[in-house]
């Protein structure tokens, strides 16, 4: 999907309500399952809001509920981060940005309209798919780009 992915349109299609609201410090977004409500902090840049909303949509898709139980919470967050990264970053678009920006994560993130964390999560996903991650990813990106 990549740059064509519009999380606001996706949320609307899922009949989720998205509101900007002041959240506890360091919180960028929250999903409230019973209300089918996603809250986004009002101070976020477009890239941060886009990345956060895609992440919260992942929680909505599987019906995640907040939990104080660490292992479950961690699994929920990993799944949401991976899902958001896969929706927000297209391999071909990544390859172009990687080439233009010589691998600089923040610059790649800027080009792809996501946060640096989303770029890192996307890279980590590809690394987990192939033990030779870095060289395999770069080879795949070179062939996709050129």
What mean pLDDT do residues 2-12 have? 97
Same domain? 44 vs 96:
no
Residues 74, 75, 78, 80, CA torsion sign: negative
Q: Is residue 50 part of a domain?
A: yes
Q: Are residues 103 and 134 in the same domain?
A: yes
Instruction: Kindly indicate the confidence band of residue 66, based on its pLDDT and cuts at 50, 70 and 90.
Output: confident
Q: Are 115 and 109 in contact (CB under 8 A)?
A: yes
Residue 120 lies in a domain: yes
78 belongs to a structural domain: no
| Secondary structure class of 29 (helix, strand, coil) | strand
Full domain range(s) for residue 14: 2-67
Residue 80 lies in a domain: no
Quote the CA–CA distance of 55 and 111 in Å, as a whole number: 19
- Whether residue 102 sits in one domain with residue 59: no
Query: How much is the mean pLDDT over the chain?
Result: 90
Residues 53 and 109 placed together within one structural domain of the fold? no
What pLDDT, in 10s, does the model give residues 72-101?
A: 999 999 999 999 999 999 999 999 999 999
Asked if residue 123 belongs to a domain, the reply is: yes
pLDDT in tens, 96-112: 999 999 999 999 999 99
- pTM (two decimals): 0.86
- In this structure, is residue 77 part of a structural domain? no
* pLDDT-above-90 percentage for the chain: 78
CA–CA separation, 120 and 83 (whole Å): 13
Q: What are phi and psi of 68, to 5 degrees?
A: -80, -5
Q: How far apart are CA 16 and CA 33, in angstroms?
A: 10
Whether 82 is in a domain gets the answer no
Domain containing residue 18: CATH number: 3.30.2010.10
Work out the burial of residue 88: count CB atoms within 10 Å of its CB; fewer than 13 is exposed, 13-18 middle, 19 or more buried. Answer: buried
What residues form DSSP beta bridges with 38? 18, 31
In a domain, 73, yes or no: no
Structural domain tally of the chain? 2
């Amino acid at each position: 999907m990549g740059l064509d992915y519009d999380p606001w349109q996706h949320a609307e299609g899922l009949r989720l309500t998205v509101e900007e609201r002041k959240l506890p410090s360091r919180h960028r977004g929250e999903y409230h399952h019973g209300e089918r409500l996603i809250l986004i902090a009002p101070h976020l840049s477009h890239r941060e809001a886009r990345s956060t909303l895609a992440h919260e949509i992942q929680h909505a898709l599987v019906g995640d509920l907040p939990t104080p139980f660490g292992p479950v919470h961690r699994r929920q967050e990993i799944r949401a981060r991976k899902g958001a990264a896969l929706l927000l970053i297209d391999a071909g678009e990544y390859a172009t940005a990687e080439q233009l920006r010589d691998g600089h994560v923040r610059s790649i993130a800027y080009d792809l309209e996501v946060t640096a964390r989303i770029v890192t999560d996307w890279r980590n996903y590809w690394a987990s798919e192939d033990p030779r991650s870095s060289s395999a990813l770069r080879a795949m990106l070179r062939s996709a780009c050129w």
